[in-house]
Amino acid sequence: MNESTNPQTTLITGSSSGIGLHLATEFAKHGHPLVLVAPDRNELETVAMDLGSTYSVDVTAIAADLREEAAAQSVFDQLGGRQIEILVNNAGHGKKGNAWEIPLEDDISMVALNIVAILRLTKLFLPPMVTRRSGRILNTASVAGFEPGPGYAVYSSTKAFVLSYSEGLATELKDSGVTVTALCPGPTDTDFFPKAGMLETRAFQQAGLMAPQDVAEAGYKALMAGDRVIVPGFSNKAMVFLRRLIPESLQAKLNELLTDDVPPDQQKRDRGVREAKE
């Protein structure tokens, strides 16, 4: 359903699955023309076709692996000067394991996608927004960005960067007509968990798992309201607030417990349960 009389064209990365897919759906519901970016062309084009036909919006699909050095510039060039009013830097991935055991190439891959790609895309799309004195940026961070992340130290560090970078930009852009919002979800029922090797962990099996639809809706509302930071879900808000009250060493220990595997007979959740219910 088109709800906006002047919908802003929105570019969303990592938009073929997970939170990114549901962000794309949320923006489509509100009538935004979309530019969707993800590495798998077939998967991406299927999503683009579905959203376009369901919500009667214009959807452009650009297949790109944003870890590659030239990918962001290629995306920008393929648009041929098309104006992007909203940039959603959502693409990212993680990896569970001890820092000394995870292959270096996996760490570099996380940094390239979770940090460098955001920098490159923002450097390309933000200046025109500043010139127009109009635009919005939504960066997907995480509650992991607020605190130490034993068992996923590099991933947590990349999200700390995204959060800090977003808040810094938001301050620099005050009164510019451009807003920046950091979306900080907690455990969410997406393909992040199987890809990161974390389906058996407490974070997936026992934490307050959110449906990605709810995360996307909260992110969209916060972005359009011009909020700087949004932490969806009461338990996630409580987790972030708790950081102010307890020593960092204790918070790190609590986070470490979330990466512990749950015994097989206590694993009751399957991927997609929360997503399917919504």
Catalytic residue list = 155
Secondary structure of the chain: what % helix, strand, coil (to 5)? 50, 15, 35
Closest to 184 measured CA to CA, from 241, 244, 228, 140:
140
Q: Report DSSP state, residue 190.
A: S
Supply the DSSP string of 211-258, one letter for each residue. PHHHHHHHHHHHHHHT-SEE--SHHHHHHHHHTTTS-HHHHHHHHHHH
Instruction: Round to whole Å and give the CA distance between 150 and 276.
Output: 31
SS3 217: helix
Q: Is 254 exposed, middle or buried (0-12, 13-18, 19+ CB in 10 A)?
A: middle
What number of CA atoms fall less than 13 Å from residue 7's CA on the CB side? Answer: 21
Could you tell me which residues are beta bridge partners of residue 13?
37
Residues 148, 239: contact at Cβ < 8 Å? no
SS3 40: coil
Closest to 158 measured CA to CA, from 139, 179, 178:
139
Considering all CA atoms of the chain, what is the largest pairwise distance in Å, rounded to the nearest integer? 58
Query: 């996608």: which residue's tokens?
Result: 113
Q: Report DSSP state, residue 146.
A: G
